[in-house]
Amino acid sequence: MDPLLIRLQNVTKTLDISVSQSILDVVDALNDLATQCAINQEYRHSIGQNSSLWITVRKLWTTCITVNADPEEISAAEQTSICAGLAKFTRNLVAAEAFNQEKAFENEPDIRKMIHDYTSYHAIQDNTYYPATRLLVQALSNIITANAALSQRLWKTYLTLPEEQLVLLRLLSSPDHRTTFSTFILVLNCVSNSSERTQMLVESPRGPRLCISMLDRISSLIDTENDGDGAQAFNIGYEIFSNLIVKGLAPDLYAKISVDGEVVTPAQTTLLKLLDSHLYRFSQSNAPIGLGAQTTDAIVQMLSSEFFALSTYAQGAMERSLGSQSNAPSTTTAPAPGDSSRAETSEENAPTNDDTPPQELDLLLPQVCEALVLVAQCLTTLALDTVEGSAVAHDTRGYLCAAISSAGQGFVESLIETLRLLDLFVPRITFGKVVPRPTPEVAQGQRTPAPQAQAPASAQGFAFVKRDLVRLLGIISSGNKTVQDRVRECRGIPVVMNLCVIDDQNPYLKEHAIFTLRNLLHGNPENQDVVRVIQPVGRWDENGILQAL
């Protein structure tokens, strides 16, 4: 018999948990075996055939459970040292050995119990438990890796447990990035190469709840250092949801993680970010997105439906805040020198530049606009993929042009109305200063106020929204006279002209708006006439102040 195994059996027989040296002897024996297993696959195979090994391992797992049930008997460090040593040995013993995996799986209930205890509120505040917790998760992960039968058994069990026993949820609540990384690896091993298990993540009783926890954890990792543990955990979490997107489950999951009464949830926003990243990654590789016609259809339908929900909410919130100003017509002004100007016509009902506070503030509006940006970016990527003649069968642009909301508003009309209200509601920031909206008094020879010294913090929540919406409009109007005419009929041309400006919160807004204007005017004499009759009523001086002509 192997001398290392004999040594483990001997120290296990004489183990006295009240004696520190006895505990150290067991831990040393486990570590020596773990090291040998890590470097020699033949050794793993050989000792795994020894039935006495599994009797010893079973006894040690029982000891771990007993010791953990009486925390007063030995210190936390001694408790975790035994558990960590045994978990490390188990992790290395089962690697790429199907027989060992089957035998070790018999101890899964004990491993799960230890993880449950080590992820209590008290334990996750104490980093003493972190190494043992990680090793327990790694052991589980290796037990089911490349073993479809065991993966199915474990995954089905873990997604049907009562919520208070869901160890995956408890693991994701740990502040330790390396624990999160190990947990994501376990989930990825369960769902990889299996459409059935991936689908369970969406359709099982606990699947959506687990997805929400994973999305929340991914969101917390977005700003971590690129070369740190958090970034590694983020990358594995991204792969889990990328796999889910490829299998066409993103629309179903998006619906499952919604909350009644909320237009968009934080978890849904994170899922949109991952979808946007997935689509963008393929677009940057100069390869077709290649999701397949059915999957692309479902994603476009989900995004267009979500666009209507978000834009309708945003329009209502801005209208309530603006009050009577929201009914003011869109107007046009001459561009300023250096082009940081806004164009306006002097119409009698144009909005004023007074300091009247908003009639109502919706605190969810920035969150809604953030989601709106992500939806627009995803649709833009899919529409460009169609434009460039990829294998995507679904005509994204055609679908969007024909889409109608439940209230009867077309996609194009909703885009224009949202842009019009955003232009009224969100201040334009140029070189860190708020540029006041020109008023009708300019036509009477009066000057507009000088720019404010500092941009309001509230504008930060609306970054990119004007740029991405006007860009999407430019794409779907390219070479499409029907869309061009619809924009004119809903008075959208002046709206686009008003966006031909510099805005710090919307990089390249001016360029995208000009390109959109070009697409609206190309080959459309009626739209060209609308622009031709617009006359400037003022000019911008060298100080950025609008003067009468």
Residues 166, 170, 173, 175: is their CA dihedral positive or negative? negative
| pLDDT of the residue at 531 | 93
Is 429 in a helix, a strand, or coil? strand
Is 538 in a helix, a strand, or coil? strand
Taking the alpha carbons at both ends of the chain, their separation in whole angstroms is 100
For residue 439, name the pLDDT band (cuts at 50, 70, 90): low
Helical H runs in 222-355? 229-246, 250-256, 266-284, 293-322
Q: Give the Å distances, CA to CA, from 281 to 66, 289, 512.
A: 50, 9, 22
| Partners of residue 410 on adjacent β-strands | 404
| Partners of residue 538 on adjacent β-strands | 548
Please state, in angstroms and rounded to a whole number, the distance separating the CA atoms of residues 208 and 152: 18
pLDDT digits (tens, 9 = 90+) for 490-514: 999 999 999 998 899 999 999 999 9
Tokens 């624990």 belong to residue? 179
For residue 385, name the pLDDT band (cuts at 50, 70, 90): confident
| pLDDT of the residue at 67 | 86
| pLDDT of the residue at 184 | 97
Least confident of 64-73, 373-382, 470-479, 525-534: 64-73
Q: Which secondary structure element, helix H or strand E, spans residue 107, and what is its range? A: none
- pLDDT of residue 540 exceeding 70, the answer is no
Please state, in angstroms and rounded to a whole number, the distance separating the CA atoms of residues 44 and 97: 8
| Partners of residue 429 on adjacent β-strands | 434
pLDDT digits (tens, 9 = 90+) for 334-370: 444 344 444 444 343 344 444 556 667 788 999 999 9
* Percent of the chain with pLDDT strictly greater than 70: 84
- pLDDT of residue 251 exceeding 80, the answer is yes
Is 282 in a helix, a strand, or coil? helix
Count helices and strands (H / E) in the chain: 25, 4
| pLDDT of the residue at 359 | 67
Please state, in angstroms and rounded to a whole number, the distance separating the CA atoms of residues 548 and 334: 11
What tokens appear for 153 in the block?
A: 């058994």
For residue 444, name the pLDDT band (cuts at 50, 70, 90): very low
Q: What is the pTM of this model?
A: 0.87
pLDDT digits (tens, 9 = 90+) for 324-341: 666 655 545 444 434 444
- pLDDT of residue 156 exceeding 60, the answer is yes
Q: Give the Å distances, CA to CA, from 295 to 42, 269, 299.
A: 45, 20, 6
Please state, in angstroms and rounded to a whole number, the distance separating the CA atoms of residues 213 and 206: 11
- Average pLDDT of the residues of the chain: 86
Please state, in angstroms and rounded to a whole number, the distance separating the CA atoms of residues 532 and 307: 33
| Partners of residue 428 on adjacent β-strands | 435
Tokens 């889409």 belong to residue? 403
